[in-house]
A = this chain, B = another copy of it.
Amino acid sequence: MRIFEETESQVRSYCRGWPALFVRSKDSHVFDEHGKSYLDFFAGAGALNYGHNHPVLKNALLEYLTDDHIVHSLDMYTEAKARFLETFRDVILRPRGLEYRVQFPGPTGTNAVEAALKIARKVTGRTTIARFTNSFHGMTLGSLAVTGNGRKRHGAGVPLEHTLTLPFDQYLDGSTPDLLWLRRLIEDSSSGVGLPAAVIVETVQGEGGINVASPEWLRALSLLCSEHDMLLIVDDVQMGCGRTGPFFSFEESGVVPDVVCLSKSLSGYGLPFAVTLLRPELDIWEPGEHNGTFRGYNPAFVTATAALDEFWRDGILRDTVDRNGSFVDSELRLIADEHADAGATVRGRGLARAVAFEDANIAGAVCRNAFERGLLLETAGSDDEVVKLLPPLTTHREDLDAGLSIVADSVRAARKELA
């Protein structure tokens, strides 16, 4: 591994907690150079909802590449893009009564967010984007301006402006109506805060620590947006593609956002891919006004299409996520009960689950212990005080069971270490 130490930038991060050389992967497992197997409850930070190297997607990809179909095409018309658009329309949009236009903004989540912010500002002619505490939307300057993490914001090296910070659901004391502040700010002409162009929100804050917004709160937010002509942008980069059960994480609430950002698990195979969905009347882009070299990466269209066909033409995956999510929740509650003296609490929805500890050192030690026991887990939250579980949605029940046992053991080990 000297090559990494000698040649790769110090910015590398996950490798520091997981000092192994990974070689192969399949379903919910990755394997290192010595053939050691790791159960993966990290899933590419949510980019591998269907597990590693799913055979159906793999076959579609290999076939496409073998036959010399076009790989890279910017925003030219290609057969693979046509099929993706048809499938996305038929499998995702129409059954849900949604009429979004699909923008290919570049292949990553932050590209999707940057495009969303631009169009919101263009459509409204206003500049401010309202954002929530503990949010995460990406690392390029536009997205970083609406991201909460102080260390990452500091990395910008310039002030991050044109935003308004708001308390996420339950951020204050629990008794305060959290949207009262926003309502007062925008209804008072002398608040000093002009009407935002849009509000950007994650329905479940992943990096923020699996903070779950209630459907009631989301509906109240959506209503406030429509009353005041602010766009509602849902960043579903981590929580979309079934992570919370339904394809879009906002479905449960009944809210219909003006703009939706998708990436991570959209290609289904770990290929860089992202879309920004826009209500048709918002699609006032001029041709090429936002562009990017890799916004027409056809292999990603192919695996994304295969994933939609495989997982979203029926309700099986969604039901599985609901069922397995409940199972994980109940298991985590047992763990939290056992460690109530450490202030352990459980959060989550679908297969985005977490145990939080009062002492962030515990969470760190849990992840370290889990790695030693063959389980990949990461921390989240303002102080990395949350142990986050994002298993592939396709993880078998026995693997979930095995992983949760490791979690339980790791918490016990962590607490013993820190006692």
Contact = CB atoms under 8 A, between A and B. Distances in A.
Max count, chain B CB within 10 A of own CB: residue among A77, A89, A197, A291: A77
A140 B77 contact: no
A192 B165 contact: yes
Contact of A68 (B7, B25, B142, B175): B25
Given A21-B78, A143-B140, A153 B194 contact: yes
A39 to B, nearest CB: 14
Interface string A145-163: 1111111111111110111
Interface string A1-15: 101100111111111
A412 interface: no
Interface string A91-120: 000000000011110111111001101101
A417 interface: no
Nearest to A173: B180
Number of copies: 4
A120 B30 CA distance: 36
A197 B171 CA distance: 24
A101 B269 contact: no
A44 interface: yes
Contact of A9 (B89, B145, B283, B297): B283
Contact of A45 (B74, B278, B383): B74
A289 B71 contact: no
B297 A7 contact: no
A68 B59 CA distance: 11
A86 B8 CA distance: 10
Contacts of A20: 76-77
Given A24-B67, A68-B24, A76 B150 contact: no
Given A103-B9, A139-B291, A4 B85 contact: yes
Interface residues of A, number: 149
Max count, chain B CB within 10 A of own CB: residue among A4, A58, A272: A272
A180 B185 contact: no
B293 A108 contact: yes
Nearest to A103: B9
Contacts of A26: 68
Nearest to A131: B192
Per DSSP, chain A at the interface is loop
Contacts of A79: 21-23, 33
B134 A101 contact: no
A180 B8 CA distance: 37
B180 A12 contact: no
Contacts of A167: 181, 184
A176 interface: yes
A32 to B, nearest CB: 9
Contacts of A30: 70
A358 B173 CA distance: 31
A409 interface: no
A28 to B, nearest CB: 13
B192 A135 contact: yes
Nearest to A70: B25
Contact of A382 (B189, B285, B294, B382): B189
Contacts of A12: 75, 104, 287
A159 B157 contact: no
Interface of A: 1, 3-4, 7-16, 18-26, 30, 33, 44-48, 52-53, 58, 61-62, 65-79, 81-82, 85-86, 88-89, 101-104, 106-111, 114-115, 117-118, 120-122, 127, 131, 133-135, 138-143, 145-159, 161-165, 167, 171-173, 175-177, 180-181, 184-185, 188-194, 197, 208, 237, 263-264, 269-272, 276, 278, 283-294, 297, 299, 381-383
Given A47-B72, A146-B192, 19 more contacts: A11-B283, A14-B76, A15-B77, A18-B77, A25-B68, A25-B69, A44-B72, A45-B74, A71-B270, A72-B270, A108-B108, A108-B292, A111-B140, A133-B184, A141-B141, A148-B190, A149-B192, A190-B381, A271-B299
